Amino acid sequence: MRYIYLAAYVGSILIANLVLDRFIELPMFGLLSYGTIFFAFVFTLRDHLHRYGLKFALLGIGIAIVVNTLCSLWFEIPPRFLIASFLSILLSELADTAIFERLRGRTWPVKVLASNAVSVPLDSALFTMIAFLGVFEFSMMIEIIFADVIAKYLIATSVMGRALFKDWRKKPVTSDPQKLSVSA
């Protein structure tokens, strides 16, 4: 399963980078890159990589950077997007990994929510500011960052909620009062 998560992680970043310069207008939120829709899965997928240890998570980040750099060169993606993607992935993923690892004794949802609270806005701000500086006005970049962060949180939360629901359904049901735990 770990390699399925790894492939999905790398693939989501790759697809996001291939469609990052296409936008849809969201009422009340502004412009949203199609890449954001795919990239939103990256945060939860990377958190799944953490389940297999720090070295595996760092390996995934490294593979994603190499694959995406090579594909960006192959598809002749403009250098500003390559630099923005490289730096935002590197810095946001390392920040996320540091927070996730620091919370090692906590539950998976706590680690995911805490690490994403930092990495999602960091990734969106870095990427947008580097990729679109001089292309869009500052106010437009703020709208893009806002829409990106909201979309990433919504998608990542729904993916995490689904995973938690599946885990909850797997727990054995018991009527033995000794085995039931109720916390106040």
Q: CB count, 10 Å around CB of 158?
A: 12
89 part of a folded domain: yes
Angle at 59 between CA 98 and CA 106, to 5 degrees: 35
Domain count within the chain: 1
- What band does 177 get if pLDDT is binned at 50, 70 and 90? low
Residue 40 pLDDT > 90, yes or no?
A: no
Residue range(s) defining the domain that contains residue 85: 2-163
Instruction: Judge whether 168 lies within some domain.
Output: no
For residue 184, the model assigns a pLDDT of: 43
**Confidence (pTM):** 0.76
* pLDDT tens profile 82-93: 899 889 988 998
Give me the pLDDT at residue 43, please: 77
pLDDT at 164: 66
Residue 150 falls within a domain, yes or no? yes
Three-class HEC string of 68-107: HHHHHHHCCCCHHHHHHHHHHHHHHHHHHHHHHHHCCCCC
Is residue 114 included in any domain, yes or no? yes
CATH number at residue 42: 1.10.1760
Higher-pLDDT residue of 159, 130? 130
